[in-house]
Chains A and B, each alone.
Chain A
Amino acid sequence: MWYYEKKLQYPVKVTECNPRLAKYLIEQYGGADGELSAALRYLNQRYSIPDKVIGLLTDIGTEEFAHLEMIATMIYKLTKDATPEQMKAAGLGAHYANHDNALFYHNAAGSPWTATYIQAKGDPIADLYEDIAAEEKARATYQWIINMSDDPCLNDSLKFLREREVVHSQRFREAVEILKFEKDRKQFF
């Protein structure tokens, strides 16, 4: 069960009217390594992972929904007042034809989100390694978007999200350490 707090995890401020950025940001919304994939991946894997790391997957999966909400806010703010001409000029003509200015779960190239983006192999190490890879890929995606964006306020929120990916990756790596720990083995340093 969840409680909803009616505020964003980190403020989202957009200064420039630049719908083109929305086209790139949608990758983190409905893309393979986006926040939706992350949330659904972790919240599903947690049922068949050893007890010691279930809570970690619940916590991180929940936070990913908070990130999804931030990305949605960014995309919404960047496109809500865009005219059809501006959408077209921003490369969002196909999006407009299909969705008007509504948000939709697809990637930057327009492919709709699919469950094939995520996996639950049932093997704890395989699943956690996938999660680590997902965090690093999301971190890289944020880097590429920051590199293309010159909106300092938007970048501020993106840098926060990127840092969270670093922390999540760290926690998943620690989860692997917990699961592979051998208690009778001598520790050498």
Chain B
Amino acid sequence: MYTPIKCYQPYHGPFDPCPPRGTVCYQTPPNLYLGFQPPNLQQFPIQEALYKGTLWPVLYDPYPTPLEKGAKR
């Protein structure tokens, strides 16, 4: 299943001066996966689209990533 965020645990050595950051995450927005956009996809209502910055729910990528979409904070 598509997740807009990926996380990993970087190595933390015993002599590293700063406390570990623990999990480090990076964004993987939907444009990485869509390929050529197929026709007739679902659209937001026009007012909502102007607010969100895209007409297409498939391209909508809220930031910071909401918890229900896999954010770890």
Contact = CB atoms under 8 A, between A and B. Distances in A.
Interface string A135-177: 0000110110011000000000001111110110110011001
A142 B62 CA distance: 12
Interface in B14-63: 27, 29-31, 34-37, 50-54, 56, 59-63
Interface string A11-37: 000000000000000000000000000
A163 B53 contact: yes
A163 B30 CA distance: 11
Contacts, number: 52
Interface residues of B, number: 20
Contact of B36 (A140, A146, A161, A177): A177
B10 interface: no
B64 interface: yes
A149 to B, nearest CB: 12
Overall SS of chain B's interface: loop
Contacts of B62: 159
Contacts of B36: 174, 177
A159 B63 contact: yes
B52 A163 contact: yes
Contacts of A169: 29, 31
A139 B56 CA distance: 18
A165 to B, nearest CB: 9
Interface of A: 10, 139-140, 142-143, 146-147, 159-164, 166-167, 169-170, 173-174, 177
13 contacts: A139-B29, A143-B27, A146-B63, A159-B53, A160-B52, A160-B53, A161-B53, A163-B53, A163-B60, A166-B30, A166-B31, A174-B36, A177-B36
Interface of B: 27, 29-31, 34-37, 50-54, 56, 59-64
